Structures are given as C-alpha cells and as structure tokens.
Amino acid sequence: MVKVIEAECVACGACVDVCPQDAIVVEDIAVINRDKCVDCGACIDECPSDAITE
C-alpha cells in the first residue's frame, strides 16, 4: 500500500493528475483514499519530492 511521507510532501498535486482511480486529493498534503487506491504506483513515479512510497 502506498503512503505519503508528510514531511516530504509539498502538496504540488502532481500525483492527483496521474491517479487513474481519482484516489488522491490535496489538502495540506496529499491524501490517499485507501478504498479507491489500487496500488498502481503511478503517483510514486510522478512525485517530484519522493514523498509517496510503498
């Protein structure tokens, strides 16, 4: 399951744009909806600050 490293997230929204399940919203940081996430990893590859990891 992917997770957001809060201290690294800059809330840029890059992950939101690539998520095929619309499972991510940006508040103060990116928040992943566990019910929608299918662990495809698209957000991990796209995150410029390496704030999303498995």
Tell me if the domain spanning 3-53 has CATH number 3.30.70.20. yes
pLDDT, position 21? 97
pTM: 0.89
Token pair of 37, please? 């996430």
Pairwise CA distance, residues 27 & 11, whole Å: 7
For 30-52, what is each residue's pLDDT tens digit? 999 999 999 999 999 999 999 99
Q: Which residues pair with 25 in a beta bridge?
A: 31
What is the per-residue DSSP string for 20-35? TT--EEESSSEEE-TT
